[in-house]
Amino acid sequence: MSDTTETTGAANAAPVYDIRAILNALPHRYPLLLVDRVKSLEIGERIHAVKAVTFNEQFFQGHFPGRPIMPGVLQIEALAQTAAILAIETLELAGSGKLVYFMSIDEAKFRAPVEPGVLLDLEVGFVQKRARVCKFWGKASIDGKVTCDVQFTAMVADPPQG
């Protein structure tokens, strides 16, 4: 275990990611990296991460002037990035170069606006998992109040050649 991780203390202890470990796991970078810390991770089951939503986020410049609100699609992207970390750990893909791509988004519901200055809790779990295709449930919330819930499917694949 590296100095960038801690253990959950659970029976099936797994690494809990800080930002350095997240940067090693995901290909995303600013301004599209939307996961700041993983609080808990149960391999093969679920993950709880957080996104610190700050006023200096690039999207707040235009969404909306005078009433900054995080776009719902970015809440789903944050949940998808969280799911990618869960899939990477569960399927033992770390260091493989494999990427986790969206395939579908189902039953997305946006229940409350997300404004700057909050910690957005990102909870994701498996609905179904296979070696190449996984289905997830996801829920974003602030202080226990759900802002978004969704189901989505992703596939594991090689990165595009370029």
CATH C-level class of 5-157: alpha beta
Asked whether 49 and 35 are in contact (CB, 8 A), the reply is yes
State the Cα–Cα distance between residues 148 and 76, nearest whole angstrom.
8
pTM of the model: 0.89
State the number of CA atoms in the 13 A half-sphere of 19 facing the CB: 7
Domain extent listing, the chain: 5-157
Q: Which residues are catalytic?
A: 63
Tokens encoding 10: 């659970």
What averages of pLDDT result for each successive group of 10 residues across the chain (162 residues)? 40 69 91 96 97 95 94 98 96 90 96 98 97 96 98 94 80
State the Cα–Cα distance between residues 99 and 27, nearest whole angstrom.
8
Q: In this predicted structure, what is the pLDDT of residue 49?
A: 98
Q: In this predicted structure, what is the pLDDT of residue 82?
A: 98
